[in-house]
Structures are given as structure tokens and as C-alpha cells.
Structure 1
Amino acid sequence: MRTKALAVAAMLLAATAVALHAGTAEAAPSGFVTRSGGGFVLNGQPFRYGGTNNYHPIFASQTMVDDVFDDAKAMDLTVMRAWASLDIGSLDGSVPHVDGEGKKAGVYFQYWDTATGKPAYNDGADGLEHLDHVISKAAQSGVRLILPFVNNWKEFGGMDQYVKWASGQYHDQFYTNATIKGWYKNWISHLLNRTNTVTGVTYKDDPTIFAWELANEPRCINANLPASGTCATSTLTGWAGEMSAYIKSLDANHMVSVGDEGFLNQGNASDWLYNGADGVDHEALTSLPGVDFGTYHLYPDGWGRSADWGTQWIKDHQAAAQAYGKPVILEEFGITGSSRDTVYKTWTSTVRNGTGDGWNFWLLTGVDWDGVSLYPDYDGFRVYYPSATATVLADEARAIGGIASSPSPSASPSPSASPSPSPSASPSPSGTVCVATYRTVGQWPGGFQGEVTVKNTGGPAITGWTVTWTFPNGQTITQLWGGRHTQSSADVTVTNESWNGGLSSGASATFGFLAGWSGTNATPTGVSCAAR
């Protein structure tokens, strides 16, 4: 997000929206969200969502990252858009940082290597291992990620850092210069083929990633470097067509979006939001064969518009999506003022009751570096949990995602869950019943992610629990969080951590794990829980 500077059709009924999203699903790997016609599907079922944005996890402390994902889980937000680039000049200062700050809290991903004369990658603890943790924590939290490869704006380096690496002059050379395009493709390939140091899963094989995104808000201009004067809608559309096809050639699992702000090219010469200004033609970009869904952003304050105008902006994009036949999401939105909660309720329900497929508000934040105070409200759009605004958005997220209202955060399954087998229960000597419910969150070639919810279904409080089961087909746990496990051949035993063993009547705790498998990933047998 950066604060900056035609009604097409009436809103369709909710029942019509459901029907339009319930078509036959295309074949896709289990656990990956994919596109089928005008909607998203997951494991053969329609998928719609409420979500958020957050740019700081890639450089923040682990406490900050964990806190914001815990808040997202508590709100049943199932998709988060987070940055996947942090570009600087050279380490010796001979090539300047476009973003004057350079490294963020000492973290950087790409830099100019003066020895080789080309960009290089920081794969270490002050580099891409930060993104590894973000993806791992997202998986643990039942949250999927939209990851843009580059920023249009100078913050985090972005497109202009590439131009400076190439000693270029104009911002839009990023889209046309062959050397720069080659560097950008190399960065894409590096990320897609990276093996996560936390999970052991290659990025292109990880269903935690909802979609790859070409850029955050690509335009011909960006208020930093000048434009060449030759950049047009065909420039961005040609670039997006080339890059989306390249991603698809490397990664057949994930969806691709452009990340544009949704400017419509509908011939209204007096309105820059509807005349393809700044090289953005939302309909042409989303119609590209390598692009799976449309994106649009909504900031009436910065655009000199009203909240009611914003509602029509949503309807216009849902009408456009019906024409190009792909899903569309309200990918960023924000407004300030005392009526914000009412406006957010109107906007998100307009997406839900129409033919929209998801929304991501700007911006969920949690604790700051001290682990206590809140992350600063730099742009006035901060949402923290718990708060009145968070309650409005959480209720709407559950409504569009088909999640039961106000569930226990630790026990609520996300829409990404595969059907669970019947839970197994075993009474403890005190008569308390401890129930363990196992589910597969997602799977990919050679691996899968599982989750178990432990619940005290009645009686007095318990001080600890032990869950056991037997894998029927040689599955082996490689990492587990939220518990302590041992595995002997096919038999698994998991006991609580010190912080999640005490459960009052009706309370629950959840632990998750990553595991390898071969053959078929059959459901475990003998899943049971013993309380202490």
C-alpha cells in the first residue's frame, strides 16, 4: 500500500454468487488452492476468504511474526499478503540504496555484488531465512500467503533498485530492459527453487503459498525515478504476459496474479481510475493466459473519493471479472475516520454478497520490537487484535469463508482443512474426556502437513495430555510444533508443552507437524487422547 494519488452492473444475489463459484474443479495437487473458471477451489470445493496484508514479517523479530500470525488465526483470516523482496545497493556503499534505509533491521534479500557485477542473494540468517520462518509460521497458523516478487515503489528497493543496478535512468526500464528482466527472472527462479530451511519444503512445492504475484502495484510511474514517456498499457501488459508465462514454466502448482491496483481502461478520459492511466489496464492484465485472478485496491482518502464510491468500485470489478471469467479479490483496502468499521462492514459484505472471491484489508499488526507495545500506526490504517474493527473483519471473514461464528481460535478449522476422521476419545481416571481430532492440512509430493486438536469435552480441568496414533504407510514426522513427540516405527506419541497442557472444561489446544511419506498418505489409525 502507498497512500496516493461507471456503474457496470447491479450487485448479484448471494445465491447467484454461490452458483457461479460451484463449477467443476480443475485437477490440482491436494492442498493447493487453484482456479476453476470464475472461482477458487481447494480439494474440489469452492474457496472464498477474508484476509489481510502485512509487509514487516520479512524483517521483523520472530516474536513479532508469531504474534501477528496468532492474531490472524484468532480472526480466522486465511490468506495474508506479505512481501517477498528486500533489495539494496552494494554492501560497500559504492552502489547506493534506492530506499535510503537499505537493510531493514539488518535484513536484506538481494544486493549488488561488486565482484561479479550482478545481483546476488542473501540466503542466510539475516536474509531469506526470515522468509523461511514466515512461511513456516503461516503453515502452522492455517494461513496461506500471497507473495509479490518486487515493489513498484522505492520502499524495500523495488523496481528502481534494479534500474540503479543497471545504471538506468527511467523507472519503466524495469519492464523493457533485457538485462533487468533477466535479473528479475533469476530472482523468481531463486525463490521458486529455494528449500525452506525450517520445513524442508521447496517453495514451489509448498501449498502454504496461495499465489505468486508479479509486483506490488506496478505502474509506469512511482514518484521516484522519472518515466521515459514511452510507457503505455501495452508495456505493462507485455511484461506481465512474459513474466507470468515464465513463472508457470517453473511452477505448475501455484496461481499467479499481477498485483495491480485495478485501474479500469474503460475510455473515461476525465477519470484516471477508469482510463488506463499510468499503464495499468486491469482487464487486459487479468485476461493474460498466465494470470489466474484479478486484484484491485481501494483507498478513497488518497484518491479523493468517498466511501460510497468505494462500494461502486467493488461492484465494477466484480462485473469486470464476470466478463474476463476469472476470480477477483479486493487485495488492499483502507479508510480512516470514525465510520471506518461501518464502511469495512459494507465493503466486505459487498464482496461476499456479490461475486468477489476474497478480500485483504490493510493492515493487521501486532506487537512491536519490545514485544509489548503495538507496531506503530504509520499510515492510519492499522488494525490490531482484539479491537472493534478486528471483530467486524473477523465476523466477515467467517461469513465469506463459511466458518462457524466466534469459534475458539485454537480449535477452529480453516477452510483449507481436508475432511477429518471421527475423533477418538478415551476417559481419564477422573472421568474427564479428552478428544483428539486429526486432519491433513495439505500435502505435496513426498510430504504433508498434519494437525491435531486436543479438547477437554467435559468434567474438571486437566493439567496435561498425551495423544497417540499409528501411521499405516510409513509416514515419518520431520518437525512438530505445539507438543513433544516420539516416533517408534509407525507409532507416534505426542505430549503437551508446558504452556498448552492445562485445559479447562471445553477448552482445546492444537499442535501441527510436517511429515514425509511414500506411496499413499493414508489416515492414521487408533488416534486417541489420554488426560492427566
Structure 2
Amino acid sequence: MMRMNRRTLLAGSAAGAASLWLPACSMGGEESSAPGFVTREGMQLLRDGAPYRIVGANMWYAAWLGADADYGDRARLTRELDRLQELGLNNLRIMAAAEEGPLNNSIKPGFTTGEGNNGALFEGLDFAMAEIGKRGMTAVLVLSNFWEWSGGLQTLLYRATGDYMDMGDPAHPWPEFADATSEIYANEQAVSLYRDHVRAMVDRTNSITGMAYADDPAVMSWQLANEPRPGGSDEAIARNRDAYLAWIASTAELIRSLDASHMVSLGQEGTQATNGSEELVTAAHSHVDYVTAHIWPLNWGWVDGKDLEGTWPAGRQLVRDYLATHSRLATEMGKPLLIEEFGFPRDGETYDPSTTTQFRQLYYDTIYDAVEASWRDGGPMQGSNFWAWNGEARAAHEDYRFQDGDRAYMGDPPHEPQGWYGNFDSDTAMLNLIRGHVDNKCLGLTEPCPA
């Protein structure tokens, strides 16, 4: 159980929303034609003029493994990337930010500390991107986080105000953490700190390759944050709406002013982030290149991890409905849709790699069936990234909990049980299922199938 470390309630500033707004801009991904860059044309993603279908994974920890430091393991990173390449994956979603601070369960070290930058972690990302590029893969680079496990927006508020709230603090039950974190959008000082990192990252030159990130075709898109929400309660969402949309529009404009070649994405979950408002999902995606949706049946109460057999049928229908809703919204916007996070527990909601994955396989099949139908029928859904890749990592402790100083990074971030959602290198049934999906990525194409 997390303890309360917050000294006073965050005091949001109502001022600032208007000053954050910048004019709407054209979509960078539509204008770039540089070789190897991923672009969009209507609802389709292209690379070198050919359809680019995403079969990907989340691997948030790539920069940490890539660091030439005591917490890094470059040999393991290259082994993991080789495994993913052999599996047929072509895209990874990775963290390009982490804000080190006082929040419980946030990863250390971070890219930024409040007193400066951690150069070794920046260089770890450089190494990871160089290796990703060598394999012809691409990456979505995530520039902050709504949640506490990488420090995130709450830590930026702490740096601006001196106050913070821990996720899961019993003194501040849901949705207080989400309401508190969403105050950042109207806090000019905290947003300025966020933008300092955006500039440093987007304007960076890779220390390994000597190539500017803006010129690197291995970057698929810059993503504003992981799962940025306008609030948790309806009241907070209504209060923050203008500042939230201004933050999206002006940050997208900033990124494009530094890098006109790459796409910009939001990282939002979809209607789960807006308490069901389709209109706000549409408004939030109006200044970015493609639509994102995340699906978490267990976290959202759609299934019971201890009774998957009894609850999966109803849960599957809710998953199908969520996919259909966001496919419709993307079609109405005329933009591609990526299901860039989807996770499911092992059978019995246990964490050991030896546990079976019967219901996870059914869940992945549901996602992949929808993606393949969209590929076949010319729909907006251009691919997906499962959550997440654990690879050769194994939990270091009998309680499957991450502790500061652990180095066996896996897809389950430090606030979660290690082994909850990630796929291990020993998950033969899951890996075979993913390979089968890779084999179908050219459904509906009449031209030669892209690599």
C-alpha cells in the first residue's frame, strides 16, 4: 500500500490555457517524403510509398538497457531486439522520458532529475535507437507519462509547486490522483519544464550514429505522453478541457517546428480517458497525425482475473465494442488508428512464466482479428503494439515486486507485479500466435507486400 507523501493539495492555475494555445498546423507526417520515413496518407500509414502495417510491442525500458552504466545491459538489449526482429515485429513503443522525483514506485534513474539531465540515459536511448534502426524497425518515442511509474506529469507539477500526490494513496482515492495530475495543463511553469525536455529530445543528435533525431527514419512518431487524461472526474474533465486541448495543440506545433519530418501522436487511451466522451477524443486528436486507443479489460473491470472463464465472454464483447467505436471515430476523422497498448493477465492472474496463457491468447486473437479485418477491408486500424515485452527478464523476488536497484527490467513497470502482463521469451504459445499475425500483415494488398 502506498503512503501519503503529499503536503498540500495541488493548487491549479486557471491562467495559462490561452497562452499555451498556438495556431493549428498541417500534419508533419503527411508532408514528409524522405526515404524510410513513416508517413500517413488519409487513413493509411506508408513507408517509402508502401503500406506500413504495425505489428509491434511496448518495450518502455529500452533506454535503460541501452545505458553504458551500472543499470544498463547493452548485450541483453541487442538479444531482445534480435528476438523481436526474428518474431517479425517492426515497431516498438519506448519511453524517451522519465522524471526522477519523490513519487513512490517511479523508476530510477530518470532522464531528468529536477537539477539537470542524466546524460547516460539519454545516451542509452541513442544506443537503443541505433540498434532499432539497424534492424529496419521503427519506434514511437514517448515524451512523458500521466502515471507515476516513470515520474511523469505529477513529478513536473512537484518541481513547479513543491507538492505531489502518490497514485494509490488511501488518503486520496480515485479519481483524486488523475484530477490532481491533470492540473498540469494550466500550470505554465510545469508545462515549461515539460517543454524543456521535449526540446532537448526532439532537437537531439544521436551520440552513437551522429544523426539528428529529426533526420532518423527509425523514429516513427513523437508521442506527447503515455495516456494523458484531461482528468478523472467529470468535473475535472470539464474544468481542464480548454487547457488540455491547448497543451496538445501547442506541443504538437512545437515538435513540428523542430522536426517537420516525423509524425506526432498523443498516446491517449480513447474514450476511457474522457469518461466516455467521443467528442473530446475527436477534439484531442485533431492536431496529431493518428488516433490511438489502449484496452485494459482487467484494469477497467471488464473481466475478473480469478474467473476468466466466467467473465471473458462478456469482456470480449466489450473489447469488440471498444474497437468498433474507435474505428468509427478514426474513420470520421479520416486518420489511421493504432491499438498501441493492449494487455491481459496470465491464467488465474498469476505471474510466473510457467503459468498458461489460454485467455490471453483469446484476447490477442480478438485484437488481431479486428486489425486483420481492417487491413483486408481498407479500414483505419493500421496495427497494434501489445503490452508488453518481458523477454529474458525474470522477477528478482518471490513476491514478484520490483525494488529500487533491480536491473531485470521487463514490460511490467515498477508499480506492477513483475510478470502480470508481459510476454516472456519462453511463452511459446503467445509467440506462435504473434508470428501468425505477422504472416497476415499483407491481407488485402494487391501491390507487393512490404517487408
Using structure 1 for the length normalisation, give the TM-score.
Answer: 0.61
Distance 1:228 1:329, change over 3 A: closer
Q: Deviations over 1:72-120 (max 9, x none)?
A: 101111011011112113xxxxxxx2245562xxx3311122xxxxxx2
2:39 is aligned to 34
- Which of 335, 344, 347 does residue 367 from structure 2 map onto? 347
Q: 2:211 aligns with which of 171, 180, 201?
A: 201
- In structure 1, distance between residues paired with 2:78 and 2:232: 32
- The corresponding residue for 1:238 is 246
Deviation at 1:339, TM superposition (A): 2.1
Superposition map of 1:205-354 within 5 A:
205-221=215-231, 231-263=239-271, 273-275=275-277, 281-288=280-287, 291-305=288-302, 306-336=315-345, 337=347, 338-354=358-374
For 1:154, give the aligned amino acid: E
The answer to whether the aligner puts 1:73 opposite 2:114 as a matched pair is no
Q: Secondary structure at the match of 1:283?
A: helix
Task: Name the amino acid aligned to 1:63.
Answer: A
User: Which whole-Å CA distance do the structure 2 matches of 1:231 and 1:71 have between them?
Assistant: 46
Identify the residue that residue 160 of structure 1 maps to in structure 2: 154
Q: Is the 8 A contact 2:61 2:409 kept in 1?
A: no
CA distance in 2, matches of 1:247, 1:78: 24
1:365 counterpart (390, 404, 409)? 390
- CA-CA distance at 1:284 after TM superposition: 1.2
1:144 maps to 2:128: no
C-alpha distance in 2, partners of 1:108/1:150?
A: 11
Distance 1:378 1:281, change over 3 A: farther
CA distance, structure 1, for counterparts of residue 409 and residue 152 of structure 2: 27
Counterpart contact for 2:182–2:240, Cα < 8 Å: no
Aligned residue number for residue 500 of structure 1: none
Who is 2:312 aligned against?
Answer: none
| Aligned pair partner of 1:86 in 91, 94, 98 | 98
More strand by share: 1
Deviations 1:393-422 (A, max 9, x none): 12212312569xxxxxxxxx994x6xxxxx
* 1:414–1:247 Cα change, 3 Å: farther
- Shift in Å at residue 368 of structure 1? 2.8
3-state DSSP of counterpart to 1:339? helix
How far apart are 1:173 and its partner, in Å? Answer: 3.0
Aligned partner of residue 298 in structure 2, secondary structure? helix
Separation of aligned partners in 1, 2:209 and 2:82: 19
1:179 aligned residue = 189
Cα distance in 1, alignment partners of residues 106 and 264 from structure 2: 30
1:87/1:373 CA distance change after superposition, 3 Å: closer
Aligned residue in 2 for 1:132: 126
- Which structure has the bigger radius of gyration? 1
1:251-304 Cα offsets, whole Å, 9 max, x none, are 101000100001179xxxxxx75236xxx922111122xx00000001111112
1:422-449 CA deviation, whole Å, 9 max, x = no partner? xxxxxxxxxxxxxxxxxxxxxxxxxxxx
SS in 1 for 2:161: coil
Greater fraction helix: 2
Corresponding residue for 1:122?
118
Give distance in 2, aligned partners of 1:82 and 1:217: 13
1:108 aligns with 2:110: yes
Q: Structure 1 pair 281/68, CA: closer, same or farther in 2 (3 Å)?
A: farther
Unpaired runs of at least 5, structure 1: 1-24, 90-96, 114-119, 266-271, 404-412, 418-532
Contact 2:106 2:148 in 1 (8 A): no
- Which secondary structure does the structure 2 equivalent of 1:296 belong to? strand
Q: Aligned letter for 1:274?
A: G
Change (3 A) 1:27 1:164: closer
How far has the Cα of 1:343 moved from its partner? 2.4
Pair 1:397–1:150, CA change in 2 (3 A): same
CA distance in 1, matches of 2:245, 2:106: 31
One-letter amino acid of the structure 2 residue matched with residue 163 of structure 1: L
**Secondary structure in structure 2 of the residue aligned to 1:357:** strand
Cα distance, 1:222 vs structure 2 = 7.2
**Deviations along 1:379-398, whole A, 9 cap, x unmatched?**
52121235111111122123
Task: State whether residues 237 and 285 of structure 1, in contact with CA within 8 Å, keep that contact through their aligned partners in structure 2.
Answer: yes
Shift of 1:221: 4.2
Percent identity of equivalent pairs: 27
Q: Residue 216 of structure 1 aligns to which amino acid in structure 2?
A: N
Which structure has more RCO (C-alpha within 8 Å, separation ≥ 6)? 2
Structure 2 unmatched runs, 5+? 1-29, 66-72, 164-179, 303-314, 348-357, 397-406
1:394 aligns with 435
In structure 2, C-alpha distance between the alignment counterparts of 1:253 and 1:46, rounded to whole Å:
18
Q: Once the 2 structures are TM-superposed, how far is the Cα of residue 315 of structure 1 from its aligned partner?
A: 1.6
For 2:103, the equivalent position in structure 1 comes to 98
CA distance in 2, matches of 1:374, 1:152: 20
Q: Which amino acid aligns with 1:192?
A: V
CA RMSD, 1 decimal: 2.9
Alignment of 1:480-499 (within 5 A): none
Distance 1:174 1:65 in 2: 34
Shift of 1:185: 1.6
Tell me, yes or no, if the aligned pair for 1:53 and 1:332 is still in contact at 8 Å: yes
My pick for the range that moved more, 237-246 or 335-344, is 335-344
Shift of the alpha carbon at 1:27? Answer: 5.0
SS at match of 2:326: helix
What is the rounded CA distance, in whole Å, between the counterparts of 1:398 and 1:332 in structure 2? 21
Amino acid aligned to 2:363: V
Contact 2:111 2:122 in 1 (8 A): yes
Query: What is the deviation of 1:208?
Result: 0.4
Q: TM-score when scaled to structure 2?
A: 0.71
1:46 to 31, 51, 57: 51
Query: What is the deviation of 1:349?
Result: 1.8
